[in-house]
Amino acid sequence: MSKAEVLIIKIGEVAQLTFADGSQYESAIRKQPVASVKIHALGAEGNDVGLKAHHGGADKALFFMSDVSFPALNVLLGENFTYDNTAIYGENFVVSGFNEDSVCVGDRFKIGSVLLEVSQPRKPCERLSKNTENENTQKIVHQSGWTGWYVRVIETGEIHKGDEIILQQRPYPQFTIRYLNRLLSDKPSMAELEQALAIEELAPAFKRSLNSKLMKLQEKQS
């Protein structure tokens, strides 16, 4: 496994964006690279989110993606995106050494002077398709499980590009980001959904989606 470190940091404020189809939205998806960032309880200084009903808040303070997800998604999308410049998927951090198969809900990572806790996978929205100018992006990110993950801030501080990522705690080693994504995109059992719903650290927003699936399964059996 490659060294676990921060490869790039990106932040951005909400701006009025015009997409290729002519539609306009207020969005902060096109974040720009910075060398370092101060982290407070609700995210990064100088960083904002659009669609606040769905983005941001303590459980979605920062959004991480792995370096390996970019080439994997490029193959599936027929694109040639890189993480070196303006954010493609709204990412705050791109990291090496960890990805959707090796990050679990409840994991605590020390990065610089900051302590972060993994709260949920990212649920892709339609703006991913608009920003990438590829109508399949939202669906493929969802189905492939290369979603990235959100974290909440346990201890504030500062993160620099190149900082090492140190895993300090892993209470749920079987509940990887990929596995949690599969619970939404595939056909899980009631027991699998119930086990995930019992995890205290899993964000309420993601639990609502899981609970909706569980209720549908229960209705079928009744």
pLDDT digits (tens, 9 = 90+) for 46-88: 987 655 445 568 999 999 999 999 999 999 999 999 999 999 9
Assess if CATH 2.40.33.20 describes domain 5-171. yes
Q: What pTM, to 2 d.p., does this model score?
A: 0.94
CB half-sphere exposure, 159, CA atoms < 13 A: 32
pLDDT digits (tens, 9 = 90+) for 135-181: 899 999 999 999 999 999 999 999 999 999 999 999 999 999 999 99
* Residue boundaries of the structural domains of the chain: 5-171
The beta strand positions in 57-148, using DSSP E, are 62-66, 93-96, 108-111, 114-121
DSSP of 138-163: HHHHHHH----EEEEEEE-EEEETT-
Rounded to 5°, the CA angle 58-142-129 comes to 90
pLDDT score of 2 more than 80: no
Predicted confidence at residue 56, as pLDDT, reads 63
pLDDT digits (tens, 9 = 90+) for 167-176: 999 999 999 9
Is the pLDDT higher at 18 or at 46? 46
